[in-house]
């Protein structure tokens, strides 16, 4: 199962860009990994390393710091987990009879924490290291018990980790490796203060890795304060996602979106569908509408309890509910195979979120379709997306692109004669 090819992009100039040398290793066996890890990789049925794995693993094995511009879907978890597990295996732990935390991975959401911890367990299946997950929204008791028993690796969301530190349940004075994953998302979610607190409690002498899908100024500043002579690795599945995923846009009145969605869901090829809404309330409302139309559907967002989120994901994964309605943040890091369709019920405001959303389909070599339902009010957001991905998204078969949309974006004035927002001005052809 080959991952989509990633394209090397250049990073901001604060750090020199990493250039893969012509002699870059191309097989897992070329990367210098120990046999137990190579075996685990074989169990996972990974045949060749992804670009980020090829570029990062040899440097990380040497103990270098790393700044990675990469998002979920590039294979970045294995890129850091494999060398970390090798480091733990090759260097004996402090011999005071205890099991101190030697690796800390910080990630923005519970789902991502669970997924990263799962990856450490999978890649470390032939090694003795223990991994604990720490996240909010659930009882802290099992987490505290896991910490008491001793664990080599902790994967945590910053808020709950800081809580447990303040209660005296966590000591970070033996941490050798710190990973900040999806750093941009952590900053967006207001985790910068907890992160700074947490970092202050660990030794300065350590290996630090920072991954981020985007590199705004705040991230570069954080990287500069935490990393020492980092190697830079930048990969993005944007271009290949755009070519591998069949993208479509349907220009439709806001009030007609639900009907069009119901039509789409009836089509035979639409098997496992992930639908995005902008808000939690919107996700709940849409899920209720779909339920009323006898569609088995789950909603996933931050207001749900941990139990409800896990149940929703399990039902979606197992196919008991073929439709999942989610918000961007809740869906971050979800790795469900076989998603045939991603539907943007609302056009995302941030163009980059579009790339993350559609990347949920066409995972690990599969094909996928992404359909965006765009109302006239959302047309400028759609234009920004097309600018980012560098292509016009073709119109969904059976629907039309209204004249208003064909104008250059800046000449579109919702109040100009002939169009008033909210009026039924356009929609899918033949569906009235
Ligand atoms: P990540 O970007 O770490 O979330 O990984 C995305 C998906 O790619 C996960 O399902 C991994 O299991 C899978 N994956 C990671 N490395 C490889 C590889 N070398 N070959 C095939 N699949 C991989």
**Shortest-distance atom of ligand 1 to CA 48:** 19
The closest residue, in CA terms, to atom 5 on ligand 1 is 75
Q: What is the pTM of this model?
A: 0.60
Answer yes or no: are the C-beta atoms of 106 and 181 closer than 8 Å.
yes
CATH (domain of 259): 3.40.50.300
Least confident residue range of 10-14, 17-21, 207-211: 10-14
Ligand 1 center–CA 165 separation, angstroms = 32
Inside any domain, residue 429: no
| Collapsed DSSP state (helix, strand, coil) of residue 172 | coil
Mean of per-residue pLDDT scores for the chain = 82
pLDDT, residue 88, reads: 96
Answer yes or no: are the C-beta atoms of 153 and 106 closer than 8 Å.
no
Inside any domain, residue 169: yes
Inside any domain, residue 427: no
Helix/strand/coil (H/E/C) assignment for every residue in 208-252? EEEEECCCCHHHHHHHHHHCCCCEEEEEECHHHHHHHEEEEEEEC
Please count the other Cβ atoms lying within 10 Å of the Cβ belonging to residue 379: 20
**Shortest-distance atom of ligand 1 to CA 115:** 4
Tens of pLDDT, residues 23-56: 444 799 999 999 999 999 999 988 889 889 999 9
Residues 300, 170 share a domain = no
Residues 273, 384 share a domain = yes
pLDDT, residue 25, reads: 46
Please count the other Cβ atoms lying within 10 Å of the Cβ belonging to residue 386: 17
Residues 229, 251 share a domain = no
pLDDT, residue 236, reads: 57
| Collapsed DSSP state (helix, strand, coil) of residue 76 | helix
pLDDT at 386 over 50: yes
Residues 183, 56 share a domain = yes
CB-hemisphere CA count at 13 Å for 170? 32
Least confident residue range of 191-195, 247-251, 329-333: 329-333
Ligand 1-lining residues (CB < 6 angstroms)? 1, 3, 46, 49-50, 53, 72-78, 335, 364
Residues 192, 228 share a domain = yes
Question: Which tokens in the block code for residue 338?
Answer: 């076989």
If one residue of 3, 182, 334 were mutated to test the ligand 1 pocket, choosing by the most ligand atoms within 8 A of its CB, it would be 3
Q: Measured between alpha carbons, how far is residue 313 from residues 54, 302, 306, 310, 326 in Å?
A: 31, 13, 11, 5, 10
**Shortest-distance atom of ligand 1 to CA 77:** 3
pLDDT at 207 over 80: yes
Ligand 1 center–CA 250 separation, angstroms = 31
22-45 in b/e form (b: 16+ CB < 10 A) is: eeebeebeebebeebbeebbeeee
Inside any domain, residue 42: yes
pLDDT at 11 over 70: no
Inside any domain, residue 432: no
The closest residue, in CA terms, to atom 18 on ligand 1 is 46
Ligand 1 center–CA 120 separation, angstroms = 13
| Collapsed DSSP state (helix, strand, coil) of residue 10 | coil
Report the domain count for the chain: 2
Residues 256, 146 share a domain = no
> Quick one: pLDDT band at residue 167, thresholds 50, 70, 90?
very high
Question: Which tokens in the block code for residue 72?
Answer: 């979920």
pLDDT, residue 213, reads: 84
The closest residue, in CA terms, to atom 20 on ligand 1 is 46
The closest residue, in CA terms, to atom 15 on ligand 1 is 75
As a whole number, mean pLDDT of residues 321-344 equals: 83
Residues 250, 350 share a domain = yes
Residues 250, 165 share a domain = no
**Shortest-distance atom of ligand 1 to CA 1:** 21
DSSP H helical segments within 319-390, as ranges? Answer: 328-331, 351-358, 379-389
Domain end point (choices 182, 204, 234):
234
Ligand 1 center–CA 1 separation, angstroms = 9
Ligand 1 center–CA 364 separation, angstroms = 7
Domain that holds residue 347: 245-412
Ligand 1 center–CA 46 separation, angstroms = 8
Domain end point (choices 234, 258, 288):
234
Residues of the chain with pLDDT > 90, as a percent, come to 55
Residues 164, 44 share a domain = yes
**Shortest-distance atom of ligand 1 to CA 335:** 10
Inside any domain, residue 240: no
Residues 167, 97 share a domain = yes
If one residue of 2, 37, 75 were mutated to test the ligand 1 pocket, choosing by the most ligand atoms within 8 A of its CB, it would be 75
CA distance 338 to 345: 20
| Collapsed DSSP state (helix, strand, coil) of residue 264 | helix
Residues 264, 188 share a domain = no
The closest residue, in CA terms, to atom 11 on ligand 1 is 75
DSSP 426: -
């Amino acid at each position: 199962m080959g991952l989509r090819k990633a394209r090397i992009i250049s990073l901001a100039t604060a750090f020199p860009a990493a250039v893969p040398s012509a002699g870059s290793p191309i097989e897992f066996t070329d990367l210098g990994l120990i046999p137990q890890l190579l075996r685990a990789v074989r169990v996972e049925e990974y045949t060749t390393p992804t670009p980020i794995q090829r570029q990062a693993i040899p440097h990380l094995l040497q103990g270098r710091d790393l700044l990675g511009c990469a998002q979920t879907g590039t294979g970045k978890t294995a890129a850091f987990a494999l060398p970390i597990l090798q480091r733990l295996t090759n260097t004996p732990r402090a011999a005071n009879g205890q099991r101190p935390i030697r690796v800390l991975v910080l990630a923005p959401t519970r789902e991502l924490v669970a997924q990263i911890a799962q990856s450490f367990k999978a890649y470390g299946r032939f090694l003795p290291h223990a991994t604990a997950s720490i996240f909010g929204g659930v009882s802290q008791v099992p987490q505290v018990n896991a910490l008491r028993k001793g664990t080599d690796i902790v994967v945590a969301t910053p808020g709950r980790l800081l809580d447990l530190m303040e209660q005296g349940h966590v000591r970070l004075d033996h941490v050798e490796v710190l990973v900040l994953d999806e750093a941009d998302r952590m900053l967006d979610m207001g985790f910068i203060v907890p992160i700074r607190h947490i970092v202050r409690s660990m030794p300065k002498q350590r290996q630090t890795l920072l991954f981020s899908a985007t590199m705004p100024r705040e991230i570069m500043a954080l990287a500069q304060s935490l990393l020492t002579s980092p190697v830079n690795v930048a990969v993005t599945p944007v271009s290949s996602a755009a070519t591998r995923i069949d993208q479509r846009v349907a220009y439709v009145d806001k009030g007609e979106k639900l009907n069009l969605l119901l039509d789409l869901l009836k089509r035979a090829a639409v098997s496992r569908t992930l639908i995005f809404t902008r808000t939690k309330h919107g996700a709940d409302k849409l899920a209720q509408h779909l339920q009323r139309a006898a569609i088995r559907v789950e909603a996933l967002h931050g207001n749900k309890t941990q139990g409800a989120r896990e149940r929703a994901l399990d039902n979606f994964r197992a196919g008991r509910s073929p439709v999942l309605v989610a918000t961007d943040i809740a869906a971050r890091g979800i790795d469900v195979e076989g998603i045939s369709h991603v539907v943007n019920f609302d056009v995302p405001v941030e163009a980059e979120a579009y790339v993350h959303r559609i990347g949920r389909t066409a995972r690990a070599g599969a094909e996928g379709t992404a359909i965006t339902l765009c109302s006239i009010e959302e047309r400028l957001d759609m234009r920004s997306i097309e600018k980012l991905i560098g292509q016009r998204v073709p119109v969904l078969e059976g629907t039309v692109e209204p004249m208003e949309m064909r104008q250059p974006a800046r000449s579109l004035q919702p109040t100009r004669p002939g169009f008033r927002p909210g009026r039924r001005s356009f929609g899918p052809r033949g569906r009235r």
